[in-house]
Structure formats: structure tokens, C-alpha cells
């Protein structure tokens, strides 16, 4: 098969706010080959910048657009995806957005191969089965401790055994104010629920500020403190891990290549490594980190906060790891993230989920659902169109530059789980 075309679809909510919610827009990628095979992926980054990285004029030999390494290439198996990963890494070495752009394309290639071969992606990765995971309801902290309590309590009522709260004002005020939110979250989660807290890199590399929050986290029996620092502050992570006691340090979502995540394992002392397949370079690089985590005694966790297409992609790299159980689940996504796909990965009666047992990613993009959110984009240089928004099936044709994006010619919210879920022992099931 030859990669014939790669199309980007930029969707957005009518209003994008300043809240740290990545489901407010989306950049979907459709890859098609000369035999009619199609796969879909999603980039987790600024959509317009990611599109630009695909079509930008070359600056020099190792600062080429991602398209230069992909259009017209052969894709017959997993080895070809790995080959293209290396090619993009070399040819777009100095194009810093390339990893995010390539992530969505790489995911779409896995989806395409899986659909063509009739196999789920996790089986193409070598796993024999997709083991169930315990999803944590990933949500923002409330504006007050009472709101944080109510949100955590509501998530438990929906069947989630684990709840993560964070961002919002956490880390911007005093340690006492943060402690009140953590205590409220524990009350909302209940004594048998798993509590996780996300600092969102708020302290950069300030060890003292992060350490001041540990006592409250320990008292609340929090399983982890996520992203206390920027992802490349390896020394600060390691020192905090030494002080954290029962609280694990988690991080890795900011890694845009496997080496950054592996350094957090080997140098940063994290107990939980969180990888976003739509940022790190795709499913293959994420699997590479999962292998290192498994060998190092570190728990691999997916990161995702957007659609169920992205959720499925994020589950594939560790779907076959039976003992790596906890996974992120966007509990309050914007409507765009729900409408863009026909299927949703819902909690079962045990409060668990699993990567779909269906060809490819097992998630179909819904053109009718995505269409109302689409943004029209045109990128021109010296009057020449480098990119114009493509058409979805059933839409009126839109102008596009075939030579740039194509090879030249020769649900509703996920269903709730049980009202009274079974007790989960984090020390047994999640670590």
C-alpha cells in the first residue's frame, strides 16, 4: 500500500475558555492509501500549529515538513510505521511541533493497518488479550472545597472507583488552602475510593513548595501527586520522590519523545509514568515506554483528556499488561469530544474498561457529529495554498491543494456503572 493522502480536520467548541480542558478542540487525522484503506488518529496539541508542521515550507535538510517524510511512502506492516517514525525524526529534527503532528498520523496508520488486517491494534503490538483497566474520573478541581467534594462524590455515584482532581487553583494559593481541597476530595471519594491529585506542573522545579503539600496528601491517602514539576526537571522529581513516602510521584504526559518519559523513570524516580500517545509520537513510542516501565517496576498509565478515539489510542500500548491497571478517563469532556465518534468506551458493571476488541482502534469517526464543529482553515505563502480544509464524507466539496496533502497522480455521555461499586484496594490492584 502507498500512503496516498493525509487530511486534517480541525474541530472546536464555539467558545474556548481558559480552563485547562483539552477537549475544547480537536485535530483529527485521516490517512488513506492507494487501495482505499483508511485510518483515523488524533493529535493532542494546538490544531493550527500542528497542521502548519505538516505543510510548512522546508527551512533546511532536517527542518522539513512532516508531509515530506510520509506522502507516497509504502505502508504494509508494523515495521513500516517504525521506519517512518525514524524518517520523520530525522527529516523534521528541528521542527519542534513535528512530534505532535506525527503522533496523530502514526495513530491513524495503526488504525488503518488494524482495519485492513481485521485485528485490534493491541494484537498488532503483540498482546494476546486486552486486560480490563480501572479508569479514574479525570476532572478539574472545584472553585471551592465544597465543589471539589461534590464533584468527587458525583464521580463515585457514576461508578468510578478512582477519582483525580487537580489544576484549577491547586498550588496557586497556600498549602493550607490546598489541604482543604484534598481533604474535601477524600471525603467525596469515600474511604474505599482511590484519590489522585494533579498539580499541573504548577511549581516548575520548586521542591520546597511541592514538599509543603505532602503531609495533606499523605493524610488523605492519595495514591499519587501528578506533575508537580515541568517534565524535564528530573532532579526535582527525584528529590520529591524521596520525601513523598506513601504518595507516589506521577508524570510524563508532557513527554514528546520516549527519551523524556524514560528519563523520568530512570532519573526522576516517578512511581507512575503517564504517556499520551497523541503527544509522544504515537502508539509505537508509547509502547516503548511501557516496556521500560514494566522492566523497571514502574506503573504505566495512559494520559488522555479528549475524545474516545484518543482514549482508545492511549489504551493500546499497555492493553496487554494485566498488572498495570489504572487508566485515565475523561469524565467531563466537552460535547465535541463525544459527538465526533460513533462509539464510546463505557464503564462496565465492575467499574472497568478495556481497549476495544475490534479492528484498528475500534472507534469510528462520525462525520455528521464532527461537522458542526469544523473550522475552515487555509494556509497560504506568497499566494500559494499550502493547506485548505478538506471535506468530510457527505459534505460539499472544499477547495484543497492535492499536491500538498495527497500523493501526486502517476454518544451521549458514557453509561454509568453501578451505584455501589465494588471496593478496590489500590495497594493490590493499581501499584
Q: What is the pLDDT along the chain (431 residues), one digit of tens a residue?
A: 999 999 999 999 999 999 888 899 999 999 999 999 999 999 999 999 999 999 999 999 999 999 999 999 999 999 999 999 999 999 999 999 999 999 999 999 999 999 999 999 999 999 999 999 999 999 999 999 999 999 999 999 999 999 999 998 999 999 999 999 999 999 999 999 999 999 999 999 999 999 999 999 999 999 999 999 999 999 999 999 999 999 999 999 999 999 999 999 999 999 999 999 999 999 999 999 999 999 999 999 999 999 999 999 999 999 999 999 999 999 999 999 999 999 999 999 999 999 999 999 999 999 999 999 999 999 999 999 999 999 987 665 554 333 334 554 433 333 333 333 333 343 334 54
Q: Same domain for 114 and 189?
A: no
Q: Do 115 and 190 belong to one domain?
A: no
Q: Decide the pairing of beta strands 194-198 and 384-388.
A: unpaired
**pTM of the complete model beyond 0.85:** yes
Q: Are residues 230 and 354 in the same domain?
A: yes
Number of domains in the chain: 2
Place of cell 497542521: 51
Q: Where are the beta strands (DSSP E) in 264-354?
A: 272-275, 299-302, 326-330
Residue 248 lies in a domain: yes
Q: What is the CATH number of the domain that holds 7?
A: 3.30.390.10
Let me know whether 310 and 215 are in one domain: yes
Is residue 410 assigned to a domain? no
User: Residue 217: CA atoms inside 13 Å, Cβ hemisphere, count?
Assistant: 28
CA distances from 181 to 140, 148, 174, 217 (A): 12, 6, 11, 10
The cell for 6 is: 493525509
- In a shared domain, residues 9 and 41: yes
Per the DSSP assignment, residues forming a β-bridge with 341 are 365
- The CATH number assigned to the domain holding 245 equals 3.20.20.120
Residues 53 and 98 in one domain: yes
Q: Which domain holds residue 350?
A: 126-361+415-429
Q: How buried is 7 (Cβ within 10 angstroms: 0-12 exposed, 13-18 middle, 19+ buried)?
A: buried
Q: Give the Å distances, CA to CA, from 63 to 89, 91, 95, 251, 401.
A: 10, 6, 5, 29, 22
DSSP-derived secondary structure for 395-421: SPP----HHHHBPPP---SPPP--SSP
Q: Same domain, yes or no, for 105 and 71?
A: yes
Residue 238 and residue 253 share a domain: yes
Task: State whether 230 and 165 are in the same domain.
Answer: yes
CA 385 to chain centre: 31
Residues 213 and 199 in one domain: yes
**Which distant-in-sequence residues (6+ apart) come within 8 Å of 222 by Cβ?**
182, 186, 195, 196, 197, 247
Same domain assignment for residues 224 and 302: yes
SS3 state of residue 6: strand
Amino acid at each position: 500500500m502507498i500512503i496516498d493522502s493525509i487530511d486534517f480536520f480541525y474541530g472546536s467548541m464555539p467558545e474556548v475558555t481558559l480552563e485547562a480542558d483539552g477537549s475544547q478542540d480537536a485535530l483529527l487525522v485521516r490517512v488513506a492509501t492507494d487501495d482505499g484503506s483508511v485510518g483515523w488518529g488524533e493529535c493532542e496539541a494546538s490544531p493550527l500549529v500542528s497542521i502548519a508542521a505538516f505543510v510548512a515550507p522546508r527551512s533546511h535538510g532536517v527542518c522539513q515538513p512532516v508531509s515530506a517524510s510520509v506522502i507516497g511512502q509504502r505502508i504494509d506492516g508494523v515495521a513500516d510505521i517504525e521506519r517512518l517514525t525514524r524518517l520523520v525524526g530525522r527529516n523534521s529534527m528541528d521542527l519542534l511541533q513535528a512530534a505532535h503532528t506525527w503522533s496523530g498520523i502514526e495513530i491513524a496508520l495503526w488504525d488503518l493497518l488494524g482495519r485492513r488486517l481485521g485485528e485490534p491494534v493491541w494484537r498488532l503490538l503483540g498482546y494476546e488479550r486486552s486486560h480490563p483497566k480501572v479508569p479514574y474520573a479525570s476532572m478539574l478541581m472545584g472553585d471551592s472545597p465544597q465543589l471539589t467534594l461534590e464533584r468527587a462524590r458525583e464521580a463515585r455515584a457514576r461508578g468510578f472507583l478512582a477519582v483525580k482532581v487537580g489544576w484549577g487553583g491547586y498550588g496557586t494559593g497556600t498549602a493550607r488552602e490546598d489541604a482543604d481541597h484534598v481533604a474535601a476530595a477524600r471525603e467525596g471519594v469515600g474511604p474505599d475510593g482511590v484519590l489522585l491529585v494533579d498539580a499541573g506542573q504548577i511549581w516548575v522545579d520548586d521542591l520546597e513548595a511541592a514538599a509543603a503539600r505532602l503531609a495533606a496528601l499523605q493524610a488523605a491517602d492519595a495514591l499519587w501527586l501528578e506533575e508537580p514539576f515541568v517534565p524535564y526537571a528530573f532532579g526535582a522529581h527525584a528529590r520529591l520522590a524521596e520525601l513523598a513516602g506513601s504518595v507516589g510521584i506521577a508524570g510524563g504526559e508532557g513527554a514528546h519523545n520516549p527519551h523524556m518519559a524514560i528519563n523520568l523513570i530512570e532519573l526522576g524516580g516517578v512511581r507512575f509514568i503517564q504517556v499520551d500517545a497523541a503527544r509522544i509520537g504515537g502508539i509505537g513510542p508509547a509502547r516503548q515506554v511501557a516496556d521500560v516501565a514494566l522492566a523497571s517496576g514502574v506503573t504505566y498509565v495512559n494520559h488522555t483528556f479528549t475524545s474516545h478515539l484518543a482514549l482508545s489510542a492511549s489504551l493500546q500500548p499497555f492493553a496487554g499488561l494485566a498488572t498495570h491497571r489504572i487508566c485515565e478517563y475523561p469524565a467531563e469532556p466537552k460535547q465535541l469530544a463525544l459527538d465526533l465518534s460513533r462509539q464510546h468506551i463505557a464503564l462496565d458493571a465492575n467499574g472497568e474498561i478495556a481497549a476495544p476488541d475490534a479492528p484498528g482502534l475500534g472507534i469510528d469517526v462520525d462525520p455528521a457529529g464532527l461537522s458542526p464543529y469544523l473550522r475552515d482553515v487555509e494556509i497560504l505563502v506568497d499566494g500559494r495554498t499550502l493547506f485548505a480544509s478538506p471535506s468530510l464524507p457527505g459534505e460539499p466539496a472544499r477547495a484543497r491543494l492535492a499536491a500538498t496533502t495527497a500523493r501526486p497522480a502517476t454518544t451521549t455521555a458514557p453509561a454509568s456503572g453501578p451505584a455501589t461499586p465494588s471496593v478496590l484496594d489500590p495497594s493490590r490492584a493499581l501499584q
